[in-house]
């Protein structure tokens, strides 16, 4: 099954926040909360040598017009992703269970507040 | 090609990071994968980084997104030329914000390219080596302050016409980057238009300066839409893949039709004696574009090609110590955090 493959199974050179060094700075995923009451939403990615710089770069790159009140940065290598293939059996179990939706049920004529 | 796979995994975004891998030994694309890809395109669904895609689709996107990203960061130069000589603090603050936006646009686009498995450093190396192109428009000089206005109105205006359809491009990360960019571009265009309008309604000298800038930028702006449809090398395939939604000539015509009334309100003339309304077509006719000039500039013989690339290389080299210092500091901090005796 493809579910649960790690974010980078490409080896040790994947450059996380803990292993900065020569070469390209590691990649970070940026999540922005646009205003209080809403979730953080993925905005994009950027390179930075460490978490503090990633946060500053994210501020400059993704919130130049007050797009956010809060920002998260996460090392891209730390993300675990499911397979994108829609035919993948990973999501299949949900497909044959329409009874999970309220529209599945027939209601008698005249019933209210249900 | 195990190297490619390693590259893709280590350098690209989390979206791309754990993509379904083609078996290094496998020969040719599986027909089922190709059919699934074609079906998504036909249904107007987006292709996402970890989806299977034809190698040529991937290569086309990398080429186009890289060229686009390079254009954004090279495009900082002609306008930055006037930062220290902006005529007021208001204009200076606006121009600074605009130039900073261009850097941001470059970064959004490099990120989008990275989801395809090509690292930003690799793309920058190719730009610096002259192996990847940027828009030929930025090889023209900004001779006067009015050029800042003409760039905003015409160059950013043309870019918007090109870019709005890219918001519906079949590749998800590119389309999402373009949505963000288009939102920001409209300020760029308006500040340019306002600047030109102010000059055009100022002293006779200022009006002449504005007219001169429009005279010089009009034709290169029309070239920004690329070669005519029958000579465009990549158009047909890109249209089929829904990377491109409209033809070069179609977008160019749209731009001309939009600009004519805007020029009238500016009180400036567009430098084309053949430009006139065609009642029958419901569009403007316009004069022949000098494609020989376009090809010369593309070939590297524009007024500023060498200067732009030199400046770009120098900025990269001069900034090396900053990148190294930041990496060294991060390494030191990481070591300190891991070390046993470091009670902070």
Contacts of A73 in chain B (CB under 8 A): none
Taking the Cβ of residue A70 and every Cβ of chain B, the question of whether any pair is shorter than 8 Å is answered with no
Q: Is the Cβ pair B333, A50 closer than 8 Å?
A: yes
| Closest alpha carbon to B301 in B178, B159, B140, B183 | B140
Q: Residue B318: is its pLDDT beyond 50?
A: yes
Question: Given a cut of 90, is residue A95 above it in pLDDT?
Answer: no
Tokens of B312: 């770009």
Q: What was the pLDDT predicted at B117?
A: 93
Q: Which pLDDT does position A88 carry in this prediction? A: 65
Interchain CB distance below 8 Å, A45 and B114: yes
Stretch A29-35: mean pLDDT: 97
The tokens for B111 are 């990120």
Nearest to B228 by CA among B209, B206, B253: B253
Contact check, Cβ <8 Å, B120/A24:
yes
* B259-309 confidence digits (pLDDT tens): 999 999 999 999 999 999 999 999 999 999 999 999 999 999 999 999 999
Contact call for residues B122 and A47 (beta carbons, < 8 A): no
Q: What backbone torsions phi and psi does residue B342 show, to the nearest 5 degrees?
A: -95, 80
Tell me whether residues A8 and B177 touch, CB distance under 8 A. no
For all residues of chain B together, what is the average pLDDT?
90
Residue B111 has its nearest CB partner, among A8, A45, A53, at A45
Check CB contact under 8 Å for B17 and A21. Answer: no
Structural contact between residues B55 and B122, judged by C-beta atoms closer than 8 angstroms = no
Q: How far is CA B306 from CA A83, B138, B166, B300, in A?
A: 45, 11, 30, 8
What are the pLDDT digits (tens) for B66-120? 999 999 999 999 999 999 999 999 999 999 999 999 999 999 999 999 999 999 9
Paired with A40 in beta bridges are: A33
Q: Give residue B3's pLDDT.
A: 30
Cα-flanking dihedrals φ and ψ of residue B104, to 5°? -60, -45
| Residue A61, min C-alpha distance to chain B (Å) | 6
ipTM of this complex = 0.83
**B114/A64 CB distance under 8 A:** no
A63–chain B Cβ distance below 8 A for any pair: no
How far off is chain A from B26, nearest CA to CA, in Å? 18
- Closest approach of B327 to chain A, Cα-based (Å): 5
Residues B163-216 have pLDDT tens digits of 999 999 999 999 999 999 999 988 999 999 999 999 999 999 999 999 999 999
Q: What is the pLDDT of residues A35-87, one digit of tens each?
A: 999 999 999 999 999 999 999 999 999 999 999 999 999 999 999 888 766 55
The share of chain B scoring above pLDDT 90, in percent, equals 83
Query: What tokens does B188 get?
Result: 């760029």
Query: What b-and-e string marks burial along B194-213, b requiring 16 or more CB atoms within 10 Å of the CB?
Result: ebbbebbeeeeeebebbbbb
What integer pLDDT is reported at residue B226 of this predicted model?
A: 93
Contacts of B326 in chain A (CB under 8 A): 25, 49-50, 53
Q: Can you give the pTM of this predicted structure?
A: 0.86
């Amino acid at each position: 099954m493809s579910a649960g493959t790690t974010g980078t199974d490409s080896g040790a050179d994947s450059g996380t926040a803990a292993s900065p060094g020569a070469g390209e700075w590691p990649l970070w995923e940026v999540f922005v909360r646009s205003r209080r009451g809403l979730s953080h939403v993925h905005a994009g990615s950027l390179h930075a040598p460490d978490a503090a710089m990633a946060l500053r770069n994210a501020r400059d790159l993704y919130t130049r017009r007050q797009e956010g009140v809060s920002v998260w940065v996460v090392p891209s290598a730390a993300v675990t992703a499911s397979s994108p293939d829609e035919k993948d059996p990973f999501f299949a179990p949900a497909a044959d269970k329409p009874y999970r939706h309220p529209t599945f049920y027939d209601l008698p004529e005249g019933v209210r507040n249900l | 090609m195990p190297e490619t796979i390693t590259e893709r995994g280590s350098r690209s975004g989390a979206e791309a990071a754990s993509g379904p891998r083609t078996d290094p030994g496998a020969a040719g694309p599986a027909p089922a994968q190709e059919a699934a890809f074609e079906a998504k395109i036909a249904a107007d669904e987006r292709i996402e980084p970890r989806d299977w895609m034809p190698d040529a689709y991937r290569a086309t996107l990398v080429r186009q997104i890289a060229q686009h990203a390079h254009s954004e960061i090279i495009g900082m130069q002609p306008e930055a030329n006037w930062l220290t000589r902006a005529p007021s603090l208001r204009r200076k603050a606006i121009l600074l914000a605009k130039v900073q936006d261009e850097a941001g646009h470059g970064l959004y686009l490099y990120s989008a390219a990275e989801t395809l498995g090509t690292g930003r450093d690799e793309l920058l190396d190719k730009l610096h080596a002259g192996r990847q192109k940027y828009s030929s428009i930025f090889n023209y000089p900004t001779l006067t302050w009015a050029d800042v206005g003409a760039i905003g109105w015409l160059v950013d205006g043309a870019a918007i016409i090109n870019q709005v359809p890219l918001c519906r491009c079949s590749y998800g990360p590119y389309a999402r980057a373009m949505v963000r960019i288009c939102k920001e571009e409209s300020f760029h265009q308006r500040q340019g238009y306002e600047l030109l309008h102010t000059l055009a309604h100022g002293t006779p000298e200022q009006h002449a300066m504005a007219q001169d800038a429009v005279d010089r930028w009009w034709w290169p702006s029309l070239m920004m839409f690329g070669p005519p449809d029958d000579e465009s090398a990549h158009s047909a395939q890109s249209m089929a893949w829904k990377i491109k939604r409209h033809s070069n000539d179609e977008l160019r015509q749209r731009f001309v039709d939009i600009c004519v009334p805007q020029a009238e309100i500016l009180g400036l003339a567009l430098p084309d004696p053949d430009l006139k309304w065609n009642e029958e077509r419901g569009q403007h006719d316009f004069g022949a574009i000098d494609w020989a000039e376009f090809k010369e500039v593309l070939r590297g013989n524009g007024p500023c090609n060498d200067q732009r690339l030199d400046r770009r290389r120098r900025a990269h080299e001069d900034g090396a110590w900053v990148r190294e210092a930041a990496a060294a500091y991060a390494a030191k901090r990481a070591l300190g955090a891991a070390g046993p005796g470091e009670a902070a």
